[in-house]
Structure 1
């Protein structure tokens, strides 16, 4: 079964690639201090939406239609496992050696006994899982506040998290091997699987008056929650959908 926390982690990606949004930004005096680049971000958002509707969403629908659920689960597990080395390193950089060791144990069990991570045996054994990245590491080092930034063909981020995203992409030894071998089809499968996992969210996000604001506020609140832990309030996505923007 797909883990709920992974779906929540990727919620923002699905929202940015699936929604129908206005691209007109408010005047400068009405913009959020966290989003001073809103005009640019809305334009990038529109490009992402167009690309999704033209390519990724139709492909994801076809993939989900022809691929059995157990196979899709195995693909999800496989790519989750591929990301573990980066998580392990970032946990060390954040001064969390115990969590880093626990994540390494998960990676070892799933890689060796779970056939490269296709079967998440560590989850069945109730081994703890930690999710973090370089953006979170930067936040741990003191860069807590950062401007919101919509990344082309990636989705919602911040300047800090965007730098972290590309940093993680290039230091992952497994993904680096994929790139060197020219196996970009593997990376494309990862994107398709993520999009297929989150197809059910499309209709819900379209209910929002301004999906761009929904995505931005949800992303920033969730990142704040992950950085500050229990001191921050976890975003209520249901409340966003019910909010009256008039």
Structure 2
């Protein structure tokens, strides 16, 4: 775990250095994305890596494993993810969400064959995804500039700083056997990417600028996540003469 955290820290330091290089080359940036030049470069790197390796692996994952098996894997990984979501719900003093997520974990672990079956959703126990970036946002920490991280993809400065703790709190990283941790980590990437195969293709085909589309969608989603789907209203001064 210490080795993994150290590698993530070095990666984030590298991102900061890239940021310092990218700031001087940006002209008239979006206020939320002052490091657009650097971000676009990292976005292109991630897209090339995805096209060359991750997307083909995800397609093979879908081709080899039947849908019921993939669903069971998705449920199992989701049950592990609920542990960190519960912890962050507690850090945000969301009593009901914490209790319901605890019940989800208990029900799916003991009645759902370790989480392979999502019995809790059938019992209408809502699934909530919470991370430490959301917790910081809940307590008033602003998102800061938009950042595209190598491999990890879209983020913000706040969420980037929260990433090492999110990884440390990940239930997958608590497995003592390193081989098991590696297999679960790779399987999670395949699970997430396989679920986005059609979505990514549509974005690339339909969006005039996929980078801008992804950025705007991500920032809107994160704001909704922090405010549980009810972000504060923002007054548009261009629509009225009265500020």
Q: Same fold (TM over 0.5)?
A: yes
Task: Determine the structure 1 residue equivalent to 2:55.
Answer: 57
Check whether the contact 2:42–2:149 (CA below 8 A) recurs between aligned residues: yes
Per-residue deviation, 1:175: 1.8
Per-residue deviation, 1:232: 4.8
Check whether the contact 1:77–1:117 (CA below 8 A) recurs between aligned residues: yes
Secondary structure at the residue paired with 1:182? helix
> Counterparts of 1:31-110 in structure 2 under 5 Å?
31-110=29-108
Task: Determine the structure 2 residue equivalent to 1:230.
Answer: 230
Task: Determine the structure 2 residue equivalent to 1:238.
Answer: none
- CA distance in structure 2 between the aligned counterparts of 1:195 and 1:179, rounded to whole angstroms: 26
TM-score, normalised via structure 2 length: 0.80
- CA distance in structure 2 between the aligned counterparts of 1:224 and 1:179, rounded to whole angstroms: 35
Per-residue deviation, 1:179: 6.5
Task: Determine the structure 1 residue equivalent to 2:178.
Answer: 181
Per-residue deviation, 1:139: 0.4
Q: What is the root-mean-square deviation of aligned Cα atoms in Å?
A: 2.0
Q: Name which of 120, 123, 137 aligns with 2:121.
A: 123
- CA distance in structure 1 between the aligned counterparts of 2:154 and 2:176, rounded to whole angstroms: 24
Cα pair distance change 1:164/1:179, threshold 3 Å: farther
Unaligned 5+ residue runs, structure 1? 1-23, 234-246
Check whether the contact 1:224–1:232 (CA below 8 A) recurs between aligned residues: no
- CA distance in structure 2 between the aligned counterparts of 1:205 and 1:221, rounded to whole angstroms: 16
Check whether the contact 2:108–2:118 (CA below 8 A) recurs between aligned residues: yes
| Deviation readout 1:147-205 (Å, 9 max, x if unpaired) | 11111111101011122233111123x32223753320221011011111111113211
Per-residue deviation, 1:112: 1.2
Q: Name which of 141, 144, 147 aligns with 1:143.
A: 141
Per-residue deviation, 1:213: 0.4
Task: Determine the structure 1 residue equivalent to 2:216.
Answer: 217
- CA distance in structure 2 between the aligned counterparts of 1:109 and 1:92, rounded to whole angstroms: 19
- CA distance in structure 1 between the aligned counterparts of 2:143 and 2:190, rounded to whole angstroms: 31
> Counterparts of 1:6-25 in structure 2 under 5 Å?
none
Query: Relative contact order (alpha carbons < 8 A, sep ≥ 6): 1 or 2 greater?
Result: 1
Equivalent pairs counted in the alignment come to: 209
TM-score, normalised via structure 1 length: 0.79
Check whether the contact 1:149–1:156 (CA below 8 A) recurs between aligned residues: yes
Mark the structure with the bigger radius of gyration. 2
